[in-house]
Amino acid sequence: MANVKGKRFIVNYGEPVGMIAAQSIGEPGTQMILRTFHYAGIEATIATSGLPRIVELVDARKKPATPITYIYLNSSTRNSFEKAEAVAKKINEVNMGAITRRSIENFSKGAIKFILDEQTLAANELTPQQVAQKLAKSMEVHTKVDKGGDIIVRLKTKKLSEIRAINVKIMKKTIQGVEGAGKAVIQRSKDGEFYIVAAGSNVEALIDIDGIDKTRLYTNDVFAMNRLFGIEAARNTLIRELKNTLDEQKIDVDERHIALVADAMTYSGDIKGVGRHGLSGQKNSVFAKAAYEETVKHLVNAAAFGEIDPMRGVTENILVGKQIPIGTGSVRLAIKKEDLKKAKPVK
Amino acid sequence: MIMADKGNRKVYLHLNGKAIGYVEQPEAFVAEVRSSRRKGQISGEVNIAYFQKNGEIHINTDRGRLRRPYVIVENGKSKLTAETLEKLKKNEINFNYLLRSGMVEYLDAEEEENAFIALSEEQVNEKTTHLETNFTSIFGLTINTSPYPEHNALARHAMSANFIKQAEGIFASNFNQRFDSRGYILFYPQVPIVSTAAYTSAGIDKHPSGQNFVVAISTYYGYNMADALVINKAAVDRGLGRSLFYKSYSDEERRYPGGQRDRFKMPAPTADGYMGEHAYSKLSEDGIIEPEMEVSEGDVLIGKVAPPRFLEESIGAGGLEEKMRDDSTVLKTGEVGKVDSVILTETTGATRVVKVRIRSLRIPEKGDKFASRHGQKGVVALIVNQEDMPFSDSGIVPDLLLNPHSIPTRLTFGHLMEMLAGKAGTVSGEKVDGTAFVGDGKERLADYSQTLKSHNFDEYGDETLYDGITGTAFKAKVFTGVVYYNRLYHMVSNKIQVRSRGKVQILTHQPTEVKARQGALRFGEMERDALIGHGASLLLKERMLDQSDKTTVLICRQCGDIGYYDHIKRTTVCPTCGSGQLTPVDISYAFKVLLDEIKSMHILPSIKLKE
């Protein structure tokens, strides 16, 4: 029985799976535009959802709008809040801007004075000296802490534009934690385990942090997953993210349709978006490309390089009026016509 | 922007959006402007608004502002006294008097922000500055013409407003003398039994556009599912929803540079574009059709000949006057009717003009559209003989059966209230007022129930109905009432269209679109996707090629360009490479056009054939 039932789900030869996948995702997707929910929660851990997220994934954007990394902890740290907090402290990205109340540029002396915010400084267990040291090291500038606990940065230049540029640069500088990791928040799972959610996706740096479970590190940044774990992981991330976004809006799409899209995007070994610059641009038919977008560009290129359209796709065959190589049209006679003439009837 | 602070208040003054100065005592200033407007010292069209938060005063005197009248209230008392109202009723004074004497003034959107407006006289207190002229004016005129608007959803009001625009009635009492390009005249328009104050005061009852239908909320063998309507044949035969459709055609004798001009006359068979003797058979000697002539699709209404478009044509045929082009006016596809009226007149430019009006009777049929005043539209799906319709104890047979499913999701409770009110009005022989917010909804319904009860009807409007076919009573009582329905001008007879084979476009050889051109229905991109999705490649090919723009072209086996067949030499020729080896291939004409266009850009596409 299982055999019979199972076989019913095997896709037949010539079945236009891509078209069916596109329709199956596209049709319920039209309802998504109207239904966008907003959640309450910690700002940093709210990911883009709904249609914008789907577009982001399918277009294969290099940086997602809201990268989020789920950092699970290993057996020594995951059961204690204090230990988890210690790990989170190492990760939580604090930049100069967050601890500075005001910066005063002195253009005649070529110096910038940073008035630090004592409260945030204390909350992150930082001292002005530490900050000054860190800045001196990473920016290669001379720093000094004055009596009031303010940091004075002395610069070699006195040019207005350069001072301003350096000021902006310093404000973005990571003082504590992992650069590009974003704000790290501790959360507790249903089975009582502590884990960290970070609003960034610098997984290369995060994987080396002590106390984390390297095997379970997960980010919604598909490209980061590809860099760290390879294309298979990226494919799975893509499926998981697409599925989750659709599920969130209670849109029921069979996972195999999504898997097909993910496969098409990743089969080449790197991630390609759907559209002009990705999958559609890779078609080997001139007509199919010209029919999609940038008609003239494709025709001119085809003329310039003497391209040949092999006429194997759907669009180009509809255009000229041939039977399309899909479904019934995918069946062809394997014997040559001449050989057929030689054939004798079977008795 | 400078904020007005308490010590030294400087409030910027804007005239029609431009800052022109500042004021130090804004309240006093605004009050003075207003009082002098009320006294008539400055124009009543001036509006002034003080925005305390921004520290700005805006004075507007320009055009394009929406303004509406309010009764002025001072010290908690309305300026418009009962005495004045009495005088107004006796026509001793008019509305302009109220404006002049500072009882009523117009406010624009900005000044309205400063006003504290009471809905009714009872709500007036010390803070009140104005009084609404009428409490129903929180709705517009359009909504106020429909009964019980406060019981309907807003979306339905929007629909209802659109339907009323499309309703047939008597749009002008001189419709007989007019030659509108289209006109719809309802045979027996009725004043609604349930109407409103605004309906009468706007004078719509002078030219109503609907009829009171006896409606039962019931199914009928599934024939009124999904906004379909079942109507009574006997009612239709008695004139329910019956209307006339007028359509006018016109043409004139145009003059052309060079002294040539068009001529109304029976075109000679030699004229260019002559449509055959039969088409002109209904014309009289002057080439114009006679009144009361029955006409149908393809018949010529106005015979006219025009000079040829290009001079060469006439020179080739010899003799300028001889060769003329047929430019007659033909009845459009799918139209039938009688010629109602024909006029021959002249324009100020002394060219003769003919106007022909066609009339056709439009008896409600399957596919015609009706709507009540509550945004409840429907399309006739079945016209039932009276004997097969459900009937009541007293022998009442409904005109229309409305499916009960059309009510709950649409929240048009006004429809139900109108049914009950209409029924109460019918049995008592009185018109019912359905104006918004007149008393409490429950009380109004109780009133109607009372009327029905006193006439021995069910107080809730329910009736025991009997199945017209079996004669047995329905188990449940059926809610029956009277509703005012509009017949909308969307009729099947104007929209029905068929085509199997027909005209094609010149450029692409594909079938034409649009009804007027006997067009086909587009097999679009999404329909194409559906066939691909089914893998039905042969069906797809049939739609996109065989039933569309299939052509056979000769393709050169040597150079891959398109060639032709030389009928004299009886050989195939490739003009590009001179070879005679060509194969006929079926392609879409659109593809041939594409290849031609590519060639026109100095790119030579070539087709390689297999085998």
pLDDT digits (tens, 9 = 90+) for A77-131: 888 888 888 888 888 888 888 888 888 888 888 888 888 888 888 888 888 888 8
Return the structure tokens found at B357: 């009006």
Return the structure tokens found at B599: 């060639």
Please report whether residue B531 resides in a domain: no
3-state helix, strand, coil in chain A (%, to 5): 45, 15, 40
Question: Which residues are CB-contacts of B611 (< 8 A; sequence separation ≥ 6)?
Answer: none
- The pLDDT, as a whole number, for residue A38 is 59
Examine the domain organization and report whether A44 and A144 are in the same domain.
no
Please report whether residue A53 resides in a domain: yes
Asked which of A145, A176, A207 is the last residue of a domain, the reply is A176
Please report whether residue A259 resides in a domain: yes
Examine the domain organization and report whether A152 and A198 are in the same domain.
no
Task: From chain A, pick out residues whose CB is under 8 angstroms from the CB of B598.
Answer: 299, 303
Q: A321–B608: do the CB atoms touch at under 8 Å?
A: no
Q: Is B90 on the interface with A (CB under 8 A)?
A: no
Question: Which residues are CB-contacts of B486 (< 8 A; sequence separation ≥ 6)?
Answer: B163, B164, B166, B167, B168, B209, B210, B370, B371, B372, B373
Examine the domain organization and report whether A87 and A215 are in the same domain.
yes
Return the structure tokens found at A208: 């080396």
3-state secondary structure of B557: coil
Please report whether residue A141 resides in a domain: yes
Return the structure tokens found at B211: 């009829």
Examine the domain organization and report whether A207 and A87 are in the same domain.
yes
pLDDT at B313 over 70: no
Please report whether residue B535 resides in a domain: no
Neighbours of B396 (CB within 10 A): 14
Quote the CA–CA distance of A69 and A66 in Å, as a whole number: 10
Q: Please name the member of A19, A303, A308 whose beta carbon is closest to the beta carbon of B532.
A: A19
3-state secondary structure of B402: strand
Pairing of strands B550-556, B582-588: antiparallel
What letter does residue B587 receive in the DSSP assignment?
Answer: E
Best probe of the B interface among A324, A330, A337, by most B CBs < 10 A, is: A324
Asked which of A219, A239, A274 is the last residue of a domain, the reply is A219
- The pLDDT, as a whole number, for residue B4 is 43
Asked which of B462, B487, B512 is the last residue of a domain, the reply is B487
Task: Determine contact, residues B353/B345, Cβ cutoff 8 Å.
Answer: yes
Best probe of the B interface among A20, A287, A322, by most B CBs < 10 A, is: A322
Examine the domain organization and report whether B21 and B54 are in the same domain.
yes
Please report whether residue A2 resides in a domain: yes
Assign residue A325 the CATH number of its domain. Answer: 1.10.150.390
Best probe of the B interface among A320, A326, A337, by most B CBs < 10 A, is: A320
Q: Is B560 exposed, middle or buried, given 0-12, 13-18 or 19+ CB atoms closer than 10 A?
A: middle
Q: Is A21 exposed, middle or buried, given 0-12, 13-18 or 19+ CB atoms closer than 10 A?
A: buried
Task: From chain A, pick out residues whose CB is under 8 angstroms from the CB of B537.
Answer: 323-330
What confidence tens digit (pLDDT) does each residue in A133-156 have? Answer: 888 888 777 888 888 778 888 888
Examine the domain organization and report whether A129 and A29 are in the same domain.
no
B455 falls in which pLDDT band (50, 70, 90)?
very high
Highest mean pLDDT among A142-146, A317-321, B184-188: B184-188
Please report whether residue A278 resides in a domain: no
Q: Please name the member of B534, B537, B591 whose beta carbon is closest to the beta carbon of A321.
A: B591
Quote the CA–CA distance of A71 and A69 in Å, as a whole number: 6
Assign residue B232 the CATH number of its domain. Answer: 2.40.270.10
What confidence tens digit (pLDDT) does each residue in B23-73 have? Answer: 888 999 999 999 999 998 999 999 999 998 888 999 999 999 999 999 999
If you count residue pairs, one on A and one on B, with CB atoms under 8 Å apart, how many are there?
65
Please report whether residue B497 resides in a domain: no
Examine the domain organization and report whether B415 and B479 are in the same domain.
yes
Mean pLDDT of B137-143: 86
Examine the domain organization and report whether B444 and B406 are in the same domain.
yes
Mean pLDDT of B140-158: 92
Q: Please name the member of B535, B591, B601 whose beta carbon is closest to the beta carbon of A319.
A: B591
Examine the domain organization and report whether B259 and B223 are in the same domain.
no
Residue A339 falls in which region: left (phi positive, over 0), alpha (psi -120 to 50) or beta: alpha
Examine the domain organization and report whether B390 and B470 are in the same domain.
yes
What letter does residue B43 receive in the DSSP assignment?
Answer: -
- The pLDDT, as a whole number, for residue A8 is 82
Examine the domain organization and report whether A12 and A35 are in the same domain.
no
Task: Determine contact, residues B584/B545, Cβ cutoff 8 Å.
Answer: no
Task: Determine contact, residues B127/B77, Cβ cutoff 8 Å.
Answer: no
What letter does residue B589 receive in the DSSP assignment?
Answer: H
What confidence tens digit (pLDDT) does each residue in A225-237 have? Answer: 999 999 999 999 9
Examine the domain organization and report whether B122 and B59 are in the same domain.
yes
Counting the structural domains of chain B, the total is 4
Return the structure tokens found at A71: 């950092």
Angle at CA B478, nearest 5°, toward B477 and B480? 135
B579 falls in which pLDDT band (50, 70, 90)?
confident
Examine the domain organization and report whether B345 and B461 are in the same domain.
no
- The pLDDT, as a whole number, for residue B259 is 82
Mean pLDDT of B137-144: 87
What letter does residue B449 receive in the DSSP assignment?
Answer: H
Assign residue A148 the CATH number of its domain. Answer: 3.30.1360.140
Task: Determine contact, residues B43/B37, Cβ cutoff 8 Å.
Answer: yes
- Nearest chain A residue to B603 by CA: give it: A303
pLDDT at B1 over 50: no
Task: Determine contact, residues B427/B457, Cβ cutoff 8 Å.
Answer: yes
- The pLDDT, as a whole number, for residue B5 is 45
- The pLDDT, as a whole number, for residue B9 is 66
Assign residue A54 the CATH number of its domain. Answer: 1.10.1790.20
Mean pLDDT of B474-491: 96
Examine the domain organization and report whether B189 and B297 are in the same domain.
no
Residue with the bigger pLDDT between B548 and B10: it is: B548
Mean of the per-residue pLDDT values of chain B: 91
Q: Is B585 on the interface with A (CB under 8 A)?
A: no
Examine the domain organization and report whether A78 and A215 are in the same domain.
yes
Assign residue B284 the CATH number of its domain. Answer: 2.40.50.150
Query: CA end-to-end span of chain B, whole Å?
Result: 83
A37 falls in which pLDDT band (50, 70, 90)?
low
Its domain, for residue A77, covers 69-91+181-219
Buried b (16+ CB within 10 A) or exposed e, A151-171: bbbebeeeeeeebeebbeebe
Element at A339 (helix H, strand E): helix A337-342
pLDDT at B7 over 70: no
Quote the CA–CA distance of B491 and A276 in Å, as a whole number: 46
Mean pLDDT of B496-503: 89
Q: DSSP for B166-215, please give it.
A: HB-B-S-TTTTT---SEEEEESS-B--SEE-HHHHHTTGGGS--BEEEEE
Please report whether residue B482 resides in a domain: yes
Please report whether residue B444 resides in a domain: yes
Element at B97 (helix H, strand E): helix B95-100
Examine the domain organization and report whether B231 and B371 are in the same domain.
yes
Examine the domain organization and report whether B31 and B51 are in the same domain.
yes
- The pLDDT, as a whole number, for residue B322 is 59
What percentage of chain B has pLDDT greater than the value 90? 73
Pairing of strands B550-556, B562-566: antiparallel
Question: Which residues are CB-contacts of B282 (< 8 A; sequence separation ≥ 6)?
Answer: B289, B290, B293, B295, B299, B300
- The pLDDT, as a whole number, for residue A179 is 82
Q: Which of these ranges, A147-151, A168-172, B481-485, has the smallest mean pLDDT?
A: A147-151
Please report whether residue A271 resides in a domain: no
Q: Which CA distances in Å does B28 have to B34, B57, B127, B559?
A: 10, 12, 17, 93
- The pLDDT, as a whole number, for residue B145 is 93
Q: Report the sign of the C-alpha dihedral through residues B380, B386, B387, B390, in that order.
A: positive
Examine the domain organization and report whether B155 and B236 are in the same domain.
yes
Examine the domain organization and report whether A308 and A332 are in the same domain.
yes
In 3D, which of A145, A151, A169, A154 has the Cα closest to residue A111? A154
What confidence tens digit (pLDDT) does each residue in B396-431 have? Answer: 999 999 999 999 999 999 999 999 999 999 999 999
Angle at CA B453, nearest 5°, toward B448 and B455? 100
Please report whether residue A288 resides in a domain: yes
Report, in angstroms and rounded to the nearest whole number, the Rg of chain B calculated over CA atoms: 35
Task: From chain B, pick out residues whose CB is under 8 angstroms from the CB of A303.
Answer: 598, 603
Assign residue B85 the CATH number of its domain. Answer: 3.90.1070.20
Return the structure tokens found at A186: 């501790």
What percentage of chain B has pLDDT greater than the value 70? 96
Q: Which of these ranges, A274-288, A307-321, B423-437, has the smallest mean pLDDT?
A: A274-288
Written as one letter, the residue type at B466 is: Y
3-state secondary structure of B463: strand
Task: From chain A, pick out residues whose CB is under 8 angstroms from the CB of B538.
Answer: 323, 328-329
Q: Please name the member of A16, A319, A323 whose beta carbon is closest to the beta carbon of B533.
A: A16
Q: Please name the member of B540, B587, B601 whose beta carbon is closest to the beta carbon of A320.
A: B587
A168 falls in which pLDDT band (50, 70, 90)?
confident
Residue B522 falls in which region: left (phi positive, over 0), alpha (psi -120 to 50) or beta: beta
Question: Which residue among the candidates B5, B62, B205, B227 is catalytic per the annotation?
Answer: B227
Residue with the bigger pLDDT between B313 and A118: it is: A118
Q: A319–B594: do the CB atoms touch at under 8 Å?
A: yes
Q: Is A61 exposed, middle or buried, given 0-12, 13-18 or 19+ CB atoms closer than 10 A?
A: middle
Q: Is B595 on the interface with A (CB under 8 A)?
A: no
- The pLDDT, as a whole number, for residue B238 is 96
A7 falls in which pLDDT band (50, 70, 90)?
confident
Assign residue B579 the CATH number of its domain. Answer: 3.90.1800.10
Please report whether residue B526 resides in a domain: no
Residue with the bigger pLDDT between A289 and B366: it is: B366
Query: CA end-to-end span of chain A, whole Å?
Result: 38
Quote the CA–CA distance of B494 and B502 in Å, as a whole number: 20
Quote the CA–CA distance of B200 and B156 in Å, as a whole number: 22
Examine the domain organization and report whether A87 and A185 are in the same domain.
yes
Examine the domain organization and report whether A58 and A11 are in the same domain.
no
Examine the domain organization and report whether A99 and A169 are in the same domain.
yes
Q: Which CA distances in Å does B146 have to A22, B156, B168, B255, B449?
A: 47, 11, 16, 52, 21
Please report whether residue B527 resides in a domain: no
What confidence tens digit (pLDDT) does each residue in A173-199 have? Answer: 888 888 888 888 888 888 888 988 888
Counting the structural domains of chain A, the total is 4
Angle at CA A323, nearest 5°, toward B509 and A12? 145
Examine the domain organization and report whether B55 and B74 are in the same domain.
yes
Examine the domain organization and report whether A28 and A50 are in the same domain.
yes
Please report whether residue A277 resides in a domain: no
Its domain, for residue B167, covers 149-242+366-487
What letter does residue B289 receive in the DSSP assignment?
Answer: B
Q: Tokens 């500088």 appear where?
A: A173
- The pLDDT, as a whole number, for residue B432 is 95
Quote the CA–CA distance of B213 and B372 in Å, as a whole number: 10
Please state the φ and ψ torsions of residue B233, each to the nearest 5 degrees: -65, -40
